[in-house]
Amino acid sequence: MNNLFAPALGSTFSVICLLLVFFQIQLYGQDSIRYAEESHLKNIRQLTFGGDNAEAYWSYDGKSLVFQRTAVKDGIPCDQIFVGRVPTTAAEPFEYKLVSTGKGRTTCAFFMKDNRHIIYASTHLASSDCPPVPDRAKYGNKYIWPLYRGYDIFQSDLTGKIVKQLTNSPFYDAEATLSPDGKKMIYTSTKDGDIELYIMDLKTEKELRITYELGYDGGAWFSPDGKKIIWRASRPKTEAAISEYKELLAQDLVAPTNMEVWVANADGSEAKQVTNFGQANWAPTFMPDSKRIIFASNHEYKRGFPFNLYIINGDGSNLQKVSRDKGFDAFPMFSPDGKRLVFASNRNNGGTRDTNVFVADWVE
């Protein structure tokens, strides 16, 4: 049993955790990690065990996942990119392998249309070391994101060989995803002095800036039909909020504690705000019908925690709560056939800070 699971998990502790879950499933059924109120989710399976695992996204054929992982005990001090095949049976383990360089810090990976290449952002050209984490005590212990200028976006095959560098600016270039046809990349950059969205034609490398309002614009996706885009955005309005935003940006930082969901046409036109809940409404993606939206939010909790998944119509109506964890559920993405949902959660982590990747069948 150890020989079967150890290559994928990397530590005895992780193997023990997996065995415990395996026997829990045998005794109590596969949905022992699903909360009773989670009516849209069925047959939830935990794929990773231990560390900080997030932003898991499907391949175009729905057979694999790419995700980022930090696990200090396994020698991964900051996020690196991994790829694994999604198990097709309950007995099959989720085995994954490193596909980034193992140097610097990486983020936001996404499969390309051929299912044999990925894109991701990395700081490895700037330094082999993990870039420093902001000292949040200097900012009143607010949650702060670093906008590392060393980030550029790369194309890699599944052996880890980088075949192309897609961006090359001395600024933050990251948070990239692709259109359904695989021809266009939407990403975030600070190269024009603010945190804006850009769309690049991967064949011609021509690009178009599509956001112009002051504030953070990032985490963008195309709709499954390719007609719309969706993203998270902050729009500081008061003098104090604008001043704080600009001061942080000057230090290559952003405090993403107030974000709302926005949508627009695929060329950035007719942009409109969908949510207006306050606090952090983020990690949005379109559902398979290209009309409804699934996103993560902490808007029900004034203390800023927990985060749960919600679905909402494109016009902002009919909000429904999907997950009922008392911790963190985020980064949802539907499989290409619309039947399964992958997401990151710190449920079932034994009281640690671990965040893991989960997959579930979707129930309408």
Per-residue pLDDT of 236-261, as tens digits, reads: 999 999 999 999 999 999 999 999 99
Q: Does 31 have pLDDT greater than 80? A: no
From CA 81, how far away is CA 93, in angstroms rounded? Answer: 19
In the chain, what percentage of residues exceed pLDDT 90?
89
Closest CA to 18 of 7, 40, 59, 81: 7
Do 56 and 111 meet the contact criterion of CB atoms below 8 Å apart? no
Closest CA to 54 of 346, 320, 362: 346
Helix or strand run (H / E) with residue 156: strand 152-157
Helix or strand run (H / E) with residue 47: none
Helix or strand run (H / E) with residue 49: none
Q: Which fold has domain 29-362?
A: Neuraminidase (2.120.10)
Beta bridge partners of 96: 84
Percent composition of the chain: helix, strand, coil (DSSP 3-state, to 5): 15, 40, 50
Computed over every residue of the chain, the mean pLDDT equals: 92
All structural domains of the chain with their residue ranges: 29-362
Q: Tokens 């995803």: give the residue.
A: 177
Query: Across the beta sheet with 152-157, what order do the strands follow?
Result: 106-111, 117-122, 152-157, 162-165
Do 330 and 341 meet the contact criterion of CB atoms below 8 Å apart? no
On the CB side of 172, CA atoms within 13 Å amount to 26
Tens digit of pLDDT for each residue in 122-131? Answer: 999 999 999 9
Task: Give the global pTM.
Answer: 0.91
Do 102 and 80 meet the contact criterion of CB atoms below 8 Å apart? yes
Residue 347 corresponds to which amino acid?
R
Total number of residues shown for the chain: 364
Q: Does 23 have pLDDT greater than 50? A: no
Do 337 and 316 meet the contact criterion of CB atoms below 8 Å apart? no
Closest CA to 160 of 113, 204, 122: 122
Q: Looking at 72-81, 134-143, 266-275, which range is the least confident one?
A: 134-143
Q: Does 39 have pLDDT greater than 50? A: yes
Phi and psi angles of residue 281, each rounded to the nearest 5 degrees, phi first: -115, 110
For 163, counting Cβ atoms within 10 Å of its Cβ (0-12 exposed, 13-18 middle, 19+ buried), the class is exposed
In which band, very low, low, confident or very high, does the pLDDT at 303 lie, cut at 50, 70 and 90? confident
In which band, very low, low, confident or very high, does the pLDDT at 3 lie, cut at 50, 70 and 90? very low
Helix or strand run (H / E) with residue 201: strand 196-201
